[in-house]
Structure 1
Amino acid sequence: MSSIGYPTLFFGVLIGSIVPIVPTGALVGAAAAVAMTTPHLSLPLVLMFATAGAGAGDVTTFAVARLGSDAAVRWLARGQRPERLISARERFDRRGWQLVVIGRLVPAGRIPVLLAAGTVAYPWRRLLPATLAACVLWAVAYALLGVMSGGIFDSPLIATVLAAVLVLVVTAVVNLVAKWRRNRSKVES
């Protein structure tokens, strides 16, 4: 199992970090649940491979915007007023590492933050440590959901399904709270 489990985890998280078609949090939670209920996977290695896949995906996403041609950057910035880009550059100058970490932890926040960082030429030397910290926190958070489900059930199948469901529920709740806060701030403005 480990001969296919770790590569599947790494490449699943990598692909899902670049193109959000794979529920990467559910994948990490499921792998952690398997690690808790069987001897086939090790939790520290699950964390390592999940972090590595997420980091490689995030750096790739950033690189597309950062190293892309002028046409690619214009396409990413399409519809944005010049003052918004200036504002984004100033936000990244002040607290870019926080934006990268929060973008990784908030569902659907990672790709826009990384593309914005690349578009405003956020420096690699600041991005890489922020990405590493964000990916470690993200992997631990989703693995904890798998650890919880693995601690509740002895069956790897039930623990894996529960971990995936927990991840999806947590993601849905975070999205609902974010939507509620956005709507509330619009009403108050």
Structure 2
Amino acid sequence: MNWTDPATIGYPAVFGGVLLGSIVPVVPTGAVVGAGAAVATTTGHLSLPLVLVLATLGAYAGDVVTFGIPRLGSEAAFRWISRRQPAERLEKAREQFARRGWQLVVIGRLVPAGRIPVLLAAAALGYPWRRLLPAALVACVLWATAYALLGILSGGLFDSPLVATLLATVLVLLVTVLANLIARWRRKSKEPV
């Protein structure tokens, strides 16, 4: 194994970083994808399609684990989620998952800080595996593509892989902050005065 070859480190870093960050949100997964795409765009060391595939697979595996752990112990997960929720609210959530569960899974993946609550709620409410798996795959493909586009944009602006990677990371963080601010503003505007 040639440890001086960026692909030797790059591909496992993309897959492992996204997988880890999808299970335990300590790694900024969007920045990992953006950086991988920026390096692929500015050098010949990484393949952009392979970066997308590995990011999608890492995100998908992480989402399946995040859903699967509480789903396998769904009775305990349901008690944990329901202990602070009125029965009407739980029933409304169950109805929403029954009607538009795939949309909730996709949107939850794309909205910063939305994925884990959606997956935990889906698991606790007994959302079926047969519906979650295809929805999560679509969500992960869209998510990886969106963050790779930010990396491609930064790689297209700068020839230096370091500058492109830094710009991709900054762009991902700015998009995340902006999305969180918009979500917070929308929640506050819906609150009764």
TM-score (norm 1): 0.96
Contact 2:151–2:165 at 8 Å: present in 1 too? yes
What SS is found at the alignment partner of 2:191?
helix
Match of 1:17, as an amino acid?
A: S
Structure 2 Cα separation of the partners of residues 51 and 72 of structure 1? 27
**Structure 1 residue 95 and structure 2 residue 100: aligned?**
yes
**Structure 1 residue 49 and structure 2 residue 25: aligned?**
no
Structure 2 Cα separation of the partners of residues 14 and 78 of structure 1? 30
Deviation at 1:73, TM superposition (A): 3.3
**Superposed counterparts of 1:80-159, under 5 Å:** 80-159=85-164
Structure 2 Cα separation of the partners of residues 102 and 69 of structure 1? 23
Structure 2 Cα separation of the partners of residues 42 and 78 of structure 1? 47
Match of 1:163, as an amino acid?
A: A
Contact 1:26–1:168 at 8 Å: present in 2 too? yes
**Structure 1 residue 34 and structure 2 residue 61: aligned?**
no
Q: Unaligned regions of 5+ residues in structure 2, if any?
A: 1-5
What SS is found at the alignment partner of 1:57?
helix
**Structure 1 residue 174 and structure 2 residue 150: aligned?**
no
Contact 2:34–2:147 at 8 Å: present in 1 too? yes
- Structure 1 counterpart of 2:68, from 63, 83, 86: 63
**Structure 1 residue 183 and structure 2 residue 188: aligned?**
yes
**Structure 1 residue 21 and structure 2 residue 37: aligned?**
no
Q: Unaligned regions of 5+ residues in structure 1, if any?
A: none
Match of 1:138, as an amino acid?
A: W
Q: Which residue number corresponds to residue 10 of structure 2? A: 5
Q: Percent identity?
A: 70
Contact 2:39–2:46 at 8 Å: present in 1 too? yes
Contact 1:65–1:76 at 8 Å: present in 2 too? no
Instruction: Write out per-residue CA displacement over residues 15-47 of structure 1, whole angstroms, 9 at most, x where no aligned residue.
Output: 111111100001100000000011110000000
Deviation at 1:69, TM superposition (A): 5.5
Q: In the comparison of the two structures, how many residue pairs are matched?
A: 188
